[in-house]
Amino acid sequence: MWKVKNKGTKIIYAMKEISKVKAYKKNSLTFVSEERKILMNLDFPFLANLRFSFQDNENLYLILDYLEGGDLRYYLNKKKKFSEIQIKFIIANILITLKYLHSKNIIHRDLKPENLVFDKNGYVYLLDFGVAKKITKGKFIVDSSGTPGYCSPEILLNKNQNFCVDFYSLGVIIFELIYGKRPYSGKTKKEIINELINNEIKINKNFIPKNFNESIGDFINKLLKRKCEERIGHNNIEEILNHPWLKDIDWKNIENKTYKEVPFIPKSYDNYDTKSSKSSSELKIDNYDFLLKKVNEYNFLKNFNYNYYYEKNKENLNNNLNNNQEKFKSIVSLHNKNQIDLQDNSCTMKYSFSISEDGINTIKIPNESKINCSFANV
């Protein structure tokens, strides 16, 4: 993940770089494709929304909203525990997002601290839809993908799954925010399954911190039910929103981001690990060139490019393209540094990004001759 800047607008974004060959070796190209498809159909104030997608010969790129507050995992490692008012605010943010996603029939399936990121004002955003699934209402999916420590029993055991899997993960996160550890301590999927089978978590009054409302114990217990049909939220998310522990939440002001006293404001610096892993271009993979050629022949890559700003205005433009060319140019070129070509009612766009001066790392910019999108020089 890189911090990048659009040269035309100077807007800062987060750029997710995915090596095609590495994704192929991990059998995750399908996940990348599905993540992009899901994000293209989402636009919500508490998500890191997709703004552009494109590719070069070796990598795929997703350009997302940039959030400068750092992720929840970072602060868990620093603070270990959070106060009840902080936890309640964080959980309210997540529930607002889950309500939106579930209304779109999307299950996130990988709710965990690493995928929850603060903006500079302390609001929490959800990201990473790599294992998310679109589900038909009233139906189930069966898939064992996810992070074992936060997965529901039905994911771990590869059984029927619906929206309830996200609520179980929410319970794990609340537990961790209170106690600084997850409810099940197993290091492997097998160890966690064994703990689940032998012991369902139940918090009694004596286990609740003295300065916490006792209703939080009941809330967590109902979220961590092993059987989906017994879990709170099984019928609808309103069951969760109406739980006594959340009765004093000011939902409207959180949704509008007008909350007067946000209980946790992240620092604007030192909130990311600067020790990044090596660029995918440095990976040593046998038969790399052969595999890369094979991947680049996949049909789904031919339509990988996406521009949110163009799609948002496409319907109006298509109604009367000739009379709206100037408007079209002003909208799209603003986000593409005037690199635009109008031909026969179709639009070919080039993307121009550069690494911010205060970026986390230095990205190796490919030669422009190698790629079908235009990168700025650093």
Question: SS3 helix, strand, coil % of the chain, rounded to 5?
Answer: 40, 15, 45
Of 180, 213, 184, 187, nearest to 201 by C-alpha is 184
Q: Are the C-beta atoms of residues 97 and 254 closer than 8 Å to each other?
A: no
Q: Is 241 exposed, middle or buried (0-12, 13-18, 19+ CB in 10 A)?
A: middle
- The CB-side HSE value for 330 (13 A sphere, CA atoms) comes to 4
CA distance 351 to 305: 10
- Please tell me which residue in 56, 65, 71, 110 is annotated as part of the active site: 110
CA distance 91 to 123: 10
Of 129, 3, 1, nearest to 66 by C-alpha is 3
**3-class SS of residue 262:** coil
CA distance 14 to 309: 16
Q: Catalytic residue at 119? A: no
Residues annotated as part of the active site: 110
